[in-house]
Amino acid sequence: MEELGKISVWSVDVAGLHLVFNLTTIYMTLSVMGILILFAFLATRNKGIVPNTFQVIAEIFVDAFWKLTRDALDEDMAKTYFPMICAMFMFLLLCNWIGILPFMDEPTKDLNTTLGLGIMGFFIAHYAGIRTKGFKGYVKEYFQPIFFMMPLNVIGEIAKVVSISFRLYGNIMGGSIIILVVSYLVYGLIIPPFLYAFFGLFVGTVQAFVFTMLTLVYISVQVK
């Protein structure tokens, strides 16, 4: 079980604060970003009526998430938030899948990654709400249906960040623990490859989609 604790860290003192950076998560995140940038380059390099393989894959993602975003928001707002929603899903999908490769770890196995994305979605959703309803209209929502419900409504909004972040983190970390335990029990013979396929590909895909759709729903709720 010691593999779960084997991470590379970098410590630095800044203005009296002792900061610790998880280099494993940073390296894996940069790797995912590099792969996505390379994919975008290959998909758009020779665009044509007869698309290449990378363009076909990119168009599938774009078309699917454009329709989902347009259905959740109106078409004008979809043009604003669709790029983020599509990019978020592709980023999370690759983050969850990359752990099936030897010597690679999922960035989403680190709570800092999932919590950071959850906080980002929280601020984007509430910014969209303020921009759409105005500051007074936005604040008024917290006093509905009765004015003394305001504290509960605030707690409910904060709980959304905790829920969405810990759900993704818990599923990816839980899958890693199960694979590790079973690998020790059967010495990595038969079952672990199937577990990697299930937790890495299937569960990873589902959780990336759930996280992305919840973020989209939070934005939709704030603007309507």
Please tell me the distance from the alpha carbon of residue 171 to that of residue 168, in angstroms, as a whole number.
5
User: Predicted confidence band at 28 (pLDDT cuts at 50, 70, 90)?
Assistant: very high
Residue 208: its pLDDT value, please? 94
* Single-letter amino acid code for the residue at 212: T
Residue 188: its pLDDT value, please? 53
For residues 139 and 145, the model is more confident at 139
Average pLDDT of 18-27? 83
Q: Which two tokens stand for residue 93?
A: 């999908």
Asked if residue 44 lies in contact with residue 55, where contact means CB atoms within 8 angstroms, the answer is yes
Residue 1: its pLDDT value, please? 44
Give every CB contact of residue 198 below 8 A, 6+ residues apart in sequence: 175
Q: Which two tokens stand for residue 169?
A: 């983190």
Is the pLDDT confidence value at 5 over 90?
no
Residue-by-residue DSSP string for 148-208: GGHHHHHHHHHHHHHHHHHHHHHHHHHHHHHHHHHHHHHTTSSHHHHHIIIIIIIIHHHHH
pLDDT in tens, 32-68: 999 999 999 999 888 777 788 889 999 999 999 999 9
User: Predicted confidence band at 191 (pLDDT cuts at 50, 70, 90)?
Assistant: low
User: Predicted confidence band at 145 (pLDDT cuts at 50, 70, 90)?
Assistant: confident
pLDDT in tens, 149-190: 888 888 988 999 999 999 999 988 888 887 777 777 766 556
Give every CB contact of residue 69 below 8 A, 6+ residues apart in sequence: 78, 81, 82, 85, 86, 216
Residue 212: its pLDDT value, please? 95
For residues 22 and 67, the model is more confident at 67
For residues 26 and 196, the model is more confident at 26
Asked if residue 117 lies in contact with residue 108, where contact means CB atoms within 8 angstroms, the answer is no
Residue 149: its pLDDT value, please? 82
Q: Which two tokens stand for residue 201?
A: 């590909």
pLDDT in tens, 64-112: 999 999 998 888 889 999 999 999 999 999 999 998 887 788 899 889 9
Is the pLDDT confidence value at 2 over 50?
no
Q: Which two tokens stand for residue 174?
A: 């839980």
Please tell me the distance from the alpha carbon of residue 214 to that of residue 159, in angstroms, as a whole number.
13
Please tell me the distance from the alpha carbon of residue 173 to that of residue 113, in angstroms, as a whole number.
12
Q: Helix, strand or coil for residue 144?
A: coil
